[in-house]
Amino acid sequence: MFTLRLYHDLFDRDAVATPDLEAQHCIAYIHKGSAVVNGQLFEADMAAYCRDAVTIEAGPGGAAVWRWELVRTTSPNNLAAGEGVTSHIRMSRRIKMFELVPTSKWLFRLDSILDNQGSTGLHSHPGSGIRCMLEGHLRVESDKGESSDNWRAGDAWYEEGSYPLVSTSDPGEKATFLRGMVLPPEYSRYPDTAIWIEGSKSCKADWKNYVQNVVTLL
């Protein structure tokens, strides 16, 4: 069994995560500030895919880093530590809709829905993931899956893709949020993964892909 986890880390200026963070597969998103991740500089609103180990060193203005990790369910929590570093696990969910087994391959993606307006209508997804609000307000309603009301930056919710749901922004409001997702590999070419159950897409939104890799589970 495999689990998707989301961590929120805060780094003071020039703070370093010690020891290195170990995870099979990780996507690190720089929410604020800047950081050197595995030897490469990333500014705010950039993301890096990391395998096996992650090194993070904050820039001169510090950094807020959000980490999605795909790991075995039995793996311990992987909080960042070090002087000037605070870390907590924001959400952890075992992915149920797939038979995630060692040696199987999956698409691990971080993307964003930008300026979502209106209601999606009832839909599902071919993969599961943890979403995280950047700005705006979004209600998620599902009879079988999880429901949530998200209105602060950093609010997180989980969507088990096979469970139908409706996502709604209030009139005159927009919502922008990140999606750390696990999908079948063939979806690497598709930006829109929604499967519309009732009618067609009725909301307006743009899409941005930060990083994606076809990964092998170990």
Encode pLDDT of 71-122 as tens digits: 999 999 999 999 999 999 999 999 999 999 999 999 999 999 999 998 888 9
Q: What is the CATH number of the domain that holds 50?
A: 2.60.120.10
State the pLDDT confidence band at 52, using cuts at 50, 70 and 90. Answer: very high
* 35 and 84 share one domain: yes
Residue 99 lies in a domain: no
Question: Which residues form the domain of 152?
Answer: 105-216
Instruction: Yes or no: say if 91 and 60 are a contact pair by the CB < 8 Å rule.
Output: no
Q: What is the mean pLDDT of the chain?
A: 95
pTM more than 0.75: yes
User: How many domains is the chain partitioned into structurally?
Assistant: 2
* 209 and 122 share one domain: yes
Using CA atoms of 27, 33, 87, 115 in order, give the dihedral in degrees to the nearest 10. -60
* 83 and 165 share one domain: no
State the pLDDT confidence band at 201, using cuts at 50, 70 and 90. Answer: low
* 202 and 129 share one domain: yes
Residue pLDDT, tens place only, 122-139 = 999 999 999 999 999 999
Residue 67 lies in a domain: yes
- Among residues 94, 123, 140, the one where a domain terminates is 94
Query: pLDDT at position 193, please?
Result: 84
Residue 200 lies in a domain: yes
